[in-house]
Amino acid sequence: MTAHKPWLDNYPSGIPANIDPDKYSTILEYLDEVCKKNANKPAFSFMGKEMTYKQLDNLSTQFGAYLQSRGLKPGDKFAIMMPNLPQYPIALFGALKAGLVVVNTNPLYTPREMEHQFNDSEARGILILENFAANLEKILDKTKIDVVLTASIGDMLGFPKKHVVNFVIRKVKRMVPRYHLKNTVNFAEAMTQGKKFKINSDFENNPHDVIVLQYTGGTTGVSKGAMLTNRNLVANMMQIKTFITPYLKEGIDQVILAPLPMYHIFAFTINCLAAMDMGALSVLVLNPKQLDTVVKEFDRYKITGMTGVNTLYNALLNNEKFKNADWTHLQFVAAGGTALQKSVALEWEKLTNTIISEGYGMTEASPVVSSNPYGASRLGTVGIPVPSTEVRIITEEGEVLPLGAIGEIQVRGPQVMKGYYKKPEETAKTITADGWLNTGDIGMLDSDGYLSIVDRKKDMILVSGFNVYPNEIEDVVAMHPKVLESAAVGIPSEKSGECVKVFVVKNDKSLSEEELIRHCRENLTGYKVPKEVEFREELPKTNVGKILRRALKE
């Protein structure tokens, strides 16, 4: 690492070079403080129904007491398989208050993926939305799970809305497949029972204790459990907060839209932890693919901030209702999870007069590594390292490269995970002896300390010995006004080893393969121009909205 950290020269005033990752020894100590400080302010909202910080504190204590009453002990693993519902933060903090390790689980997992994650994590209990319980039934007897709780979408909405919503979900939309899980208890009953017990807080809880097993997306193979400690999450929450605070206007209550699922590390740390530190109200969106529900919250609240991914921002820009929504209160808009396309960023700024601040992170870094700071945002980069974070670029052999050179990104800071659960060899490959995290991402650090992501190492396409990065191809394809979405992959080629193929969703039916390739020729070197174009109605995505290149390649 160069002794000089050029990014520090570009920190806007008010952002410190370092944070104190030991300000709180645990997430529970932090939770206690924010819930007391903001007791009567709303913490989370769902379909207009709000829950205050004080209610969150009390309800999570009840839930934690119930889990202990069922025989779950400190250190046991507890899976939460929920979309964005108020039960999520209650269960999260309740499990932590009971001394359990939370295993965040994607509700859209197939039975095979569930079985892998529950066995790998050694989960003993689970809270699952009833919509997905039929999948759990198929694999439950192959796991160690013996405490099963189910939740319904309407649980926290109060009478009569709760019953109306649950009736529509179950009977009208038939979104809950039949299941016959034995000995399950529903969330409402667990909360009632929890009132009868006193929570036992007498367990070891240290800064370096693992409190969350966050599984890597599995888009690069079998998913692994990143062990995130109290200190990792406290540090990253504070790093994020220091970068967001300069955006915020004094004396205005922050209302932050949470369309991304909180079981995903991006929304988990930003919407569930950092937002609470600002005393913000997080507005939960159940399914961001239903754009009307996203837009509805702009009508209901004066939204001051939001998190999202490129596909969501792109979809909103193409939505007539959003074009007429009230986004005049927006102070900060953050993008992560996948590359933000320039065309989307420019259109968004033109429409809303706000900049999308793109950042970079990964599950193994809790997740935020860098972000574009307010007032000094540079399009096409993922910003500068957040406080107390070092970034450097290395060669395949591990030599440190000078500024401006392209290579693998390495990261070091208090947010870097403890390691992969039960995988010491994988951990040793990923974290060096002196604490550097090998990201597997290819990037470049410029002379001002701004980081650009060129691509994922594993997604790189090799054409006649030249490196071709899918992000660059997708960026150029997205510039064409008749393109809605695209994904570039490498396919075998007799002549060049690999060549580029793009999958495209049209924005205008008249778009032809010839027109698109002509556009690419005008903007790309010959070997980067796609040799094949395949038009699709839609592209496969993760639940967060990341386009799955691997699925297309297969």
How many angstroms separate the CA atoms of 437 and 80, rounded?
27
Q: What is the DSSP string of 382-408?
A: --EEPTT-EEEEE-TT-PBPPTT-EEE
pLDDT tens-digit map of 65-78 = 999 999 999 999 99
Contact (Cβ atoms closer than 8 angstroms) between residue 183 and residue 70:
no
The pLDDT score that the predictor gives to residue 509 is: 96
Contact (Cβ atoms closer than 8 angstroms) between residue 529 and residue 517:
yes
Cα-Cα end-to-end distance for the chain: 38
Strand, helix or coil at 199? coil
Residue 33: is it exposed, middle or buried by C-beta count within 10 angstroms (0-12/13-18/19+)?
Answer: middle
Residue 420 token pair: 């992969």
Contact (Cβ atoms closer than 8 angstroms) between residue 464 and residue 497:
yes
Q: What is the DSSP string of 60-117?
A: HHHHHHHHHHTT--TT-EEEEE--S-THHHHHHHHHHHTTPEEEE--TT--HHHHHHH
List helix spans (H) across 168-259: 187-194, 230-244
The pLDDT score that the predictor gives to residue 550 is: 84
Contact (Cβ atoms closer than 8 angstroms) between residue 547 and residue 339:
no
The pLDDT score that the predictor gives to residue 463 is: 83
Contact (Cβ atoms closer than 8 angstroms) between residue 129 and residue 151:
yes
Instruction: Give the mean pLDDT of 51-67.
Output: 98
Instruction: Give the mean pLDDT of 464-468.
Output: 74
Instruction: Give the mean pLDDT of 265-289.
Output: 94
Domain 6-21+221-456: top CATH class: alpha beta
DSSP strand E in 154-296: where?
184-186, 210-215, 225-229, 255-258, 281-284
Give Cβ neighbours of residue 550 (< 8 Å, ≥ 6 apart).
Answer: 219, 220
How many angstroms separate the CA atoms of 62 and 193, rounded?
8
How many angstroms separate the CA atoms of 128 and 405, rounded?
47
What mean pLDDT value characterizes the chain? 93
- For residue 285, give the nearest of 161, 274, 500, 303 by alpha carbon: 303
Contact (Cβ atoms closer than 8 angstroms) between residue 435 and residue 389:
no
Question: pLDDT confidence of 220, banded at 50, 70, 90?
Answer: very low
Angle between helices 310-317 and 291-300 (to 10 degrees): 80
Domain locations in the chain as residue ranges: 6-21+221-456, 27-36+51-205, 460-553
Question: pLDDT confidence of 218, banded at 50, 70, 90?
Answer: very low
The answer to whether domain 6-21+221-456 and domain 27-36+51-205 are alike in fold is: yes
Helix and strand tally (H, E) in the chain? 18, 26
Q: How many CB atoms lie within 10 A of CB 165?
A: 16
pLDDT tens-digit map of 229-247 = 999 999 999 999 999 888 8
- For residue 427, give the nearest of 437, 413, 415 by alpha carbon: 437
CA count, 13 A, side-chain hemisphere, 421: 26
For the structural domain made of 27-36+51-205, what CATH number should be given? 3.40.50.980
Is 222 a residue whose pLDDT tops 80? no
Residue 553 token pair: 């390649």
Residue 144 token pair: 């160690």
Instruction: Give the mean pLDDT of 266-285.
Output: 95
How many angstroms separate the CA atoms of 49 and 90, rounded?
15
Q: What is the DSSP string of 101-112?
A: EEEE--TT--HH
pTM of the model: 0.87
Among 24-38, 213-227, 509-523, the range scoring the smallest mean pLDDT is: 213-227
> Which tops the pLDDT comparison, 490 or 219?
490
DSSP strand E in 377-531: where?
384-385, 390-394, 406-412, 419-420, 437-445, 451-456, 461-463, 466-468, 483-493, 497-506
Question: pLDDT confidence of 251, banded at 50, 70, 90?
Answer: confident
Q: Give the containing element (helix H, strand E) for 149.
A: strand 147-151
CA angle 362, 485, 496 (to 5 degrees): 80
Among 113-117, 379-383, 401-405, 464-468, the range scoring the smallest mean pLDDT is: 464-468
Domain 460-553: top CATH class: alpha beta
How many angstroms separate the CA atoms of 68 and 124, rounded?
12
SS3 letters across 528-546: HCCCEEEECCCCCECCCCC
The pLDDT score that the predictor gives to residue 3 is: 56
Question: pLDDT confidence of 348, banded at 50, 70, 90?
Answer: very high
